Amino acid sequence: MHTRKEIRSLSPEELLAFRRAMIELQRRDGTNSYIDLAGYHWIPREFCPHGESIFLPWHRVYIRLFEQALQSIDPSVSLPFWDWTSSESLAQGLAPAHGDEMFDDGGVPRLNPLFSGPIEDRSRQTRRNPPQALRRLREHASAAIDAMSDSNDFMSFTVAIEGPHGDIHGWVGGPGGDMSTILRSAYDPIFWSHHANVDRQWAIWQKCNPQGNPPPEIMSLSLESRGFPGWSVADTLDLSSPRLDYTYEGLDTVTCPIRTLHELFGKPRIKVEIKNIVITRGSFIVDIYLRRKNSALEEGVFSGSFSIFGLPSNEGGHFPGHHHHHTPVNRLIDVTEAFYGMELGEDQLHYVDIQLQAVNMDGESVDPAALPIEGVELTIPDRS
C-alpha cells in the first residue's frame, strides 16, 4: 500500500520524481496518456457524474487510474493531494509546486508540468486567472469542514462536499480559467491533486462514519457506462483493497468527531441558503454580502463566497451532448462571523438583506437575478 502525501510535505526528491513522471505522461499520446485520461472528464467523453450519487466513487476510480499511469512511468510516485483547508493554504493559497511557472530540474530551468497541461488537441496549455482572494478560500475551506462534520449519511455528504469542491474549481481557475468549468478542468494538472484532496475528505468522513456506506441501490451501480468497466460503487469503498491499495498521510491520526474551523462560544451558526442551484452553460464566482436593512451604508459586509461550476457559456458554438441529469441542490454558506460582527442577535435575521455580487468566466459582472438559482435566505439550519 502506498501513501499519498500533501503536496507541501513532499521531499525535494519526491517532488522532482512526480514532476518528471508528469512531464512524460503529458508528452505521451494514446491510451492512458495524460490527454487520454483528462478527456474522460468532459471533452471529449463526457463521463463525469457531477450532481449525481456516484460523484465520489467515480472520481476515486478516476484519480486512481491516473495515479497508476504515473506509476507505470515511475513506480515510486504517488499522487499528492493539495489540502486547501490547511493553515498554509489559507495563508498562501496555491502551493509553489502548483503555482510556479518554472522549476529547477538539476540546474536546468523547465516549464512546471504542475502549473499547466496540454488540452485535448495540444493547441494550447491550460490557463488560470489567479490570484483569487484568500478570504474566499477560507470560506470554501469552512464549507468543506462543515460538510465532513455535519453530514450523517452518504448522500447528504455527497451533496455537501460537492459544493466546496466546485468552489475550489472556481477559485483556482478564476474568470477564463480552465479549472473553472467542467469542460476542460481535468487538463489542468492541479485538478488531480484537488480531487485527491476531495477523495481524502471522503476517506476521513468514512473513518468517522463507519456505517455510512451508500444505500444498496447505489452500492450495486456499475461504473462501466461512465468509462470504468469492471468497477462498481461497492469496489470503491475500501482503500486497502487490492484494486485501490493506498492511504493518505495523516488519515490514521484523524480525531473524530471532526471539528469545524471556527466555534463561536455556543452561538448558533448563521447560514445563507442558496436554493435550487442547477448546473448550466455558465460558471460563476459569487460573493455574499450582508447589509442591515434601511442602513445608510452603501456597501454590505463581505460574508461568504461560492462558485457555480458549470459549462462555459460560449465555446465556438460547440458543446458535447449534455445528456446527464443533474438534480438541483441547495447549499448552505456559513456567514456566522460576519453576521455577529454586525452586532446582531440570532433573533434579528429579518433585519438583514442579502446581496450577491457575481462574475462570469469572462470576468463580467452578472445580475444576481440571472444566476441559475431559485433564491437566497438567511437561516439557522441547526435549530430544531
C-alpha closest to that of 60 among 237, 206, 227, 219: 237
What stretch of H or E contains 288?
Answer: strand 284-292
Assess whether pLDDT exceeds 50 at residue 168: yes
Name the phi and psi angles at 313, rounded to 5.
-75, -20
Domains and CATH numbers, the chain: 2-253 (1.10.1280.10), 271-379 (2.60.310.10)
Would you state the pLDDT for residue 260? 53
Name the phi and psi angles at 379, rounded to 5.
-150, 160
| Predicted confidence (pLDDT) per residue in 58-113, tens digit | 999 999 999 999 999 999 999 999 999 999 999 999 999 999 999 999 899 999 99
Burial class from Cβ neighbours inside 10 Å (0-12, 13-18, 19+) for residue 356 reads buried
Q: How confident is the model at residue 195 (pLDDT cuts 50, 70, 90)?
A: very high
Would you state the pLDDT for residue 378? 95
Would you state the pLDDT for residue 310? 77
Assess whether pLDDT exceeds 60 at residue 254: yes
| Predicted confidence (pLDDT) per residue in 316-355, tens digit | 433 344 445 567 889 999 999 899 999 899 999 999 999 9
Cell of 194: 484537488
More confident residue, 256 or 19: 19
C-alpha closest to that of 154 among 28, 53, 259: 53
CB-based contact 130:180 (threshold 8 Å):
no
Cell of 244: 485501490
Q: Residue 8: what residue type?
A: R
C-alpha closest to that of 94 among 5, 190, 185, 29: 190
| Predicted confidence (pLDDT) per residue in 267-294, tens digit | 888 999 999 988 766 789 999 999 998 7
Q: Residue 382: what residue type?
A: D
Assess whether pLDDT exceeds 70 at residue 297: no
140-149, 185-194, 348-357: which is most confident: 185-194
CB-based contact 346:312 (threshold 8 Å):
no
Three-class SS of residue 275?
Answer: strand
CB-based contact 254:202 (threshold 8 Å):
no
